[in-house]
Amino acid sequence: MFEIGTGYRFVMIEGTSDGWGEVSFTETVIATDGPLLKLESGRIINSHSSLFVTALPVTAVAATPESEAAPSETT
């Protein structure tokens, strides 16, 4: 399921004059209609297509958990 307003890193299969290959790009989903995703650029993707490989949400860099933070110095 895709969330409107969320950016995703898409991987699709694309045919070129050199053959088939994967292309990846990052876009924000602005609307959905069943398996169809409308992206911010105006591109529409069918997430049920055999050319659709994956889409992973793009998240902001997370803060370092306290357990991994540098130890504080005590005097």
Contacts of 63 by beta carbon, 8 Å cutoff, 6+ apart: none
Strand partners, 53: none
pLDDT of residue 34: 95
pTM passes above 0.85: no
Query: How does pLDDT run across 10-33, given as a tens digit for each residue?
Result: 999 999 899 999 999 999 999 999
Average pLDDT over residues 1-7: 94
pLDDT class of 70 with cuts at 50, 70, 90: low
DSSP letter string, 6-30? -EEEEEEEEEETTEEEEEEEEEEEE
Query: Rg of the Cα trace of the chain?
Result: 18
Q: And the tokens for 46?
A: 């069918």
